[in-house]
Amino acid sequence: MFIEAEVDAVLLDMDGTLLDLHYDNHFWLEFIPQQYALKHQLSIEQAKHHVYAQCNKVMGSISWYCYDYWSDTLGLDIHALQHKTKHKIQLRSDTLWFLDKLKQANIPTYILTNAHRSGVALKMQQTELTPYFNKIISSHDYQIAKENLRFWSAVKEEIGVDFSRCLFIDDSEKILKVAENAGVGFLRGIATPDSEKPAQEMQAFKSIKYFSELF
């Protein structure tokens, strides 16, 4: 794949692709169970057991990504709590280099994220990435997660690109498969979404550690 010659637009996941997934993993797997334990007078282990069980019920659906759903389900104000750990929101190592490169090449660039609008706003405020994108699309705008083909039809309608000439990068192999089914021509995974975890393997897609591997 030669980006400048073959790609009309670049579609990018946000968490784990542009941003270090460590923030989200820490927030949902550690910080939220701690807050739940405090509120309901439970041990951390009990709170984790409860929170993780609730997560498993809705994994991959729009609710799983929805701050309002979690605020109701856990009785915690997720919108407010996300600010308490915002210092952990970080770019992946060569995100800025990559976005500058796309800008120089005049390639339209979009974020396609399952993150709730409230999370997108905080992350863009912390990282100042907004000017790099033609549009930032959250699956909450359509109430259909990226795991669903209907999300991709809605995106196609909204931005009017030929998917066969698009590059999509995401750290989720499951979502890459759906994008492939939707007709996206070039697909890459992220091998190291969380800077504090070992690299992940993908079965069906090439995965990169650094965006420079694309050029």
Q: Using CB under 5 A as the criterion, which residues of the chain lie in contact with Mg ion when the complex forms?
A: 13, 15-16, 171
CB of 143 to Mg ion, least distance (A): 19
CA atoms within 13 A on the CB side of 22: 15
Residue 20 or 171: the one with the smaller Cβ distance to Mg ion is 171
CA atoms within 13 A on the CB side of 207: 19
Residue 51 or 175: the one with the smaller Cβ distance to Mg ion is 175
Q: Report DSSP state, residue 109.
A: E
Percent of the chain as helix, strand, coil, to the nearest 5: 55, 15, 35
CA-closest candidate to residue 194, choices 124, 56, 93, 126:
93
CB of 206 to Mg ion, least distance (A): 17
CB of 115 to Mg ion, least distance (A): 8
Residue 16 or 189: the one with the smaller Cβ distance to Mg ion is 16
Residue 17 or 35: the one with the smaller Cβ distance to Mg ion is 17
CA-closest candidate to residue 111, choices 78, 71, 149, 140:
140
Residue 36 or 189: the one with the smaller Cβ distance to Mg ion is 189
CB of 146 to Mg ion, least distance (A): 9
CB of 17 to Mg ion, least distance (A): 5
Q: Which H or E run includes 138?
A: strand 135-138
Q: Using CB atoms, what's the residue nearest to Mg ion?
A: 16
DSSP string, 141-201: GTT--TTSHHHHHHHHHHH---GGGEEEEES-HHHHHHHHHTT-SEEEEES-SSTTSPPPP
Residue 22 or 37: the one with the smaller Cβ distance to Mg ion is 22
CB of 102 to Mg ion, least distance (A): 18
